[in-house]
């Protein structure tokens, strides 16, 4: 019984540590991918084998990193969605902790932008639509409604073989 208790305590400590690390990235300094050509180059620098957790806010939190093929499929399909639905001549809705070798990426849904900009003194009330992180994400509360179209797209993406 004590072995089980020690294991449960160790798992709990690990989960708390993961949540703190996730929050540090989530609330930390992120850099914007400003232009569409920069986004193309950014996706090419993503190491699909690096153990990425893919999370659509409002859906189930992943409990394991995605397979490399799924990461490539996700970035390809998401890129198409962003270019089709973000009706601007600039990107500025993809943010990462490091634009050359990212560990954490926030991607805002073009249909849910509201006011996502703000200074360091104020936190945005807009929650990203999707996230990629090398650490387990924690559940985020969605402010607003995830449309049926987005839910179906995400579920279809996750169910397709990579």
C-alpha–C-alpha distance, residues 110 and 98, integer Å: 22
Range of 82's domain? 2-159
C-alpha–C-alpha distance, residues 11 and 87, integer Å: 44
State the total domains in the chain.
1
Three-state secondary structure along 36-98?
Answer: HHHHHHHHHHCCCCCCCEEEECCCCCCCCCCCHHHHHHHHHHHHHHHHHHCCCCCCCCEEECC
Main-chain dihedrals φ then ψ at residue 55, nearest 5 degrees: -135, 125
Total Cβ atoms within 10 A of residue 148: 8
pLDDT tens, 48-74? 999 999 999 988 999 999 999 999 999
pLDDT tens, 72-122? 999 999 999 999 988 888 888 899 999 999 999 999 988 766 544 444 444
Cα atoms in the 13 Å half-sphere on the side-chain side of 160 = 14
Tell me if residue 16 falls in helix, strand or coil: helix
Q: What's this model's pTM, rounded to 2 decimal places?
A: 0.80
Task: For residue 27, name the pLDDT band (cuts at 50, 70, 90).
Answer: very high
């Amino acid at each position: 019984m004590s072995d089980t208790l020690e294991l449960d305590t160790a798992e709990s400590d690990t989960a708390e540590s993961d949540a703190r690390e996730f929050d540090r990235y989530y609330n930390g300094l992120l850099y914007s991918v400003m232009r569409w050509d920069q986004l193309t180059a950014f996706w090419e620098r993503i190491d699909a084998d690096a153990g990425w957790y893919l999370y659509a806010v409002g859906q189930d939190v992943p409990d394991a990193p995605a397979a490399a093929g799924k990461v490539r499929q996700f970035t390809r399909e998401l890129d198409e969605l962003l270019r089709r639905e973000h009706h601007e001549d600039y990107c500025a809705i993809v943010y990462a902790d490091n634009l050359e070798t990212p560990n954490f990426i926030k991607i805002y849904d073009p249909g849910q932008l509201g006011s996502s900009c703000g200074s360091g003194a104020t936190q945005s009330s807009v929650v990203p639509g999707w996230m990629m992180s090398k650490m387990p994400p924690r559940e985020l509360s969605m402010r607003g409604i995830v449309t049926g179209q987005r839910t179906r797209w995400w579920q279809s993406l996750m169910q397709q073989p990579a």
